Amino acid sequence: MLLSRAALLALVVVALSFIAPSFASAAVDWSGDGKTDVLAVDGSGNLVMYRGNGVGGWMTGNGEVVGSGWNAFPSIVQPADFTSDGKSDLLAVMNGGNLYLYRGNGFGGWATGVGELTGTQWNMYQRILARATGTATGSPMSSR
């Protein structure tokens, strides 16, 4: 049985979630090349970007480390362009419940490299979900 490209990408996202149970993102364009990418946190806490090739596969097949120390966050969400600046962003919750915004620079990196405190007590939620689209803004949703 052959899988469609969309089904294969969905399986890769699920597989990455088992490799990096703390986070495997919804697929959005993180690198700014117009193609869908996937972010994951590896066992060492590195944030790794897998660049999509736009036709259901990968540019290189190898992940690129775009950050470290991400194992400090039990919840990470990629809500696409949360700040409405045309670039993908990340939201991350620390164990104490503080919610931080990390602004993307539109090229696979960071606008500032520093998280901005955007909320508290987010540790009351089991999961944080966001509607992610390639260019549209998304607002975080939660489930208890």
Q: How far apart are CA 73 and CA 71, in angstroms?
A: 5
Of 111 and 80, which is predicted with more confidence?
A: 111
Q: What pLDDT, on a 0 to 100 scale, did the predictor assign at position 131?
A: 60
CA 94, 100, 106, 109 torsion-angle sign = negative
Backbone angles phi, psi at 36, to 5 degrees: -70, 135
Nearest to 102 by CA among 119, 85, 118, 89: 89
Q: What pLDDT, on a 0 to 100 scale, did the predictor assign at position 116?
A: 96
Q: What pLDDT, on a 0 to 100 scale, did the predictor assign at position 26?
A: 58
- pLDDT at position 119 over 80: yes
- pLDDT at position 19 over 60: no
- pLDDT at position 139 over 90: no
- pLDDT at position 141 over 90: no
The pTM assigned to this predicted structure is: 0.73
